[in-house]
Amino acid sequence: MSLTETTSSTKREIQVEVPAEEVARTTETLVQKYRKLARIPGFRIGHVPASIIRQRFAEDLKSDMVETLVPRYFRQETEKLGLRPVSQPQVTDLHLHDGEPLKFKASFEVLPEIKVEGYKELRAEKPEITVSDEEVEQSLTSLREQQASYAAVEGRPLAEGDFAQVSLDGKSKADENAQPIHMDEVLVEIGGKNTMPEFTENLRGASAGDERTFDVVYPQDFTDQRLAGQTFAYTVKVQGIKQKNLPELNDDFAKELGEFANLEEVRKRIREGMESDRKHHAEREAKDKLIDELIKRNEIEVPEALVEHQIDLRLERGLRALAAQGMRPEDLKKMDLPRLRAGQREQAVRDVRTALLLEKIAETEKVEVSDEELDREVEAVALQSKQPVDAVRARLTQDGALDRIRGRIRDEKTLDLLYHQSA
């Protein structure tokens, strides 16, 4: 066995030799296995002569023998050299002749040698978090809007500020295969800031029982991707007219919201929530900058296999999100995956570099994840998916996701260490 020198810190090539006696022993074991199963005219199963098995199944025996011995001896040789492959070996120069050793070359990737520099000198920005009284009142106004009631209006047509209670059917004018829209009991605010202008223009002045047909042109950046950039033809029937009534801002309103004694308690909770959200956002931004600086100080080469795996994970998450938003399977299949993979590459490289650097810092600083911390995360997943904890743990263990979760928690704790070291 020999190790070939390379200029890369992540790529290795080794030459492996399997002793001739091991090749012979493995071949004989395979021949006996074939004898038990082979069906050859003129012979009972299990009584086919070994010489015929070797002749009839020569190529199959050779293939099975390589599949048996190459992984085993590859693993043995990398362990002897103290190497930890992070990719499957690419086997070349395979030499196999009767009575001779099996020889091959194996190219693979390993983790780079990492010595993290300058992480103790990193300093995070920690801006002062403030929430104005005006912002609290705006949020309170939104809560008031959510608690609004709607009273029926009779004897007049729809006017500005009214809400039309409608049923509607819509169909794309450009894409015949697009999913049609059908909705009942929908409230459309006439002149509302979030109402498409075509709905306001065509429904203003309509009375209960009226039916209107019209087209709606959605902008390219419309929030619902199913509608963005499309023109839909709608048939809308007005079922009734509603007027919105807002509750008074007083202590009774506060009590209806939950366990609040008065309106000031609601304002206090709103302020605390906004401060917490802004603190979390600011902390996330500061940690991202810490990572950027950490990478800048430690430009390490990353194994291509880990980058490709990270691209797979990012694409899987993205496609799941699109499916959850209603994108049809046939539309997902039409997507340009090579282009999507290329678009994910830069961030995937950053993700891998970050993980390797944080792992090294965690090792140096002895950052560990307790079983209790892992249990809490598994319980959170179980609660979210509404499944038994034991079933979730078994699935995560089988998928290898439990180790990924432990690694993510460890990374987060390490990043917290870097963030708080400048406190």
pLDDT at position 130: 93
CA distance 242 to 161: 10
Residue found under tokens 């039409």: 334
CA distance 69 to 19: 10
pLDDT at position 350: 95
Q: Identify the helix (H) or strand (E) that includes residue 102.
A: strand 102-109
Residue 195, classified by CB atoms within 10 Å of its CB into exposed (0-12), middle (13-18) or buried (19+), is middle
pLDDT at position 398: 85
pLDDT at position 422: 67
pLDDT at position 296: 94
Answer yes or no: are the C-beta atoms of 341 and 313 closer than 8 Å: no
CA distance 249 to 219: 37
What is the total residue count of the chain?
Answer: 423
Single-letter amino acid, residue 416: D
CA distance 376 to 393: 11
Structure pTM?
0.71
Residue 306's nearest CA partner among 116, 107, 85 is 85
Q: At what angle do helices 133-146 and 263-297 cross, to 10 degrees?
A: 110
Residue found under tokens 């919105």: 244
Answer yes or no: are the C-beta atoms of 233 and 171 closer than 8 Å: yes
Q: Identify the helix (H) or strand (E) that includes residue 198.
A: helix 197-203
Within 8 A by CB and 6+ apart from 158, the residues are: 164, 190, 203, 204, 205, 206, 207, 238, 241
Residue 135's nearest CA partner among 279, 280, 271 is 271
Where are any strands of DSSP class E within 208-339? 211-217, 231-245
pLDDT at position 38: 76
pLDDT at position 139: 95
User: Which residue ranges form the domains of the chain, and what is each CATH number?
Assistant: 2-109 (3.30.70.1050), 113-148+250-299 (no CATH), 150-245 (3.10.50.40), 300-420 (1.10.3120.10)
pLDDT at position 298: 94
pLDDT at position 423: 58
pLDDT at position 4: 57
SS3 for 292-324, per residue?
HHHHHHCCCCCCHHHHHHHHHHHHHHHHHHHHH
**What is the residue-level pLDDT of the chain in tens, covering all 423 positions?**
555 555 678 999 999 999 999 999 998 898 888 888 777 887 777 777 878 878 888 888 899 999 999 999 999 999 999 888 999 999 999 998 888 899 999 999 999 889 999 999 999 888 899 999 999 999 999 999 899 999 999 999 999 999 999 999 999 988 877 788 999 989 999 999 999 999 999 999 999 999 999 999 999 998 888 888 889 999 999 999 999 999 999 999 999 888 899 999 999 999 999 999 999 999 999 999 999 999 999 989 999 999 999 999 898 888 888 888 777 777 777 788 888 889 999 999 999 999 999 999 999 999 999 999 999 999 998 998 889 989 888 898 888 888 889 999 999 999 999 999 865
CA distance 143 to 187: 18
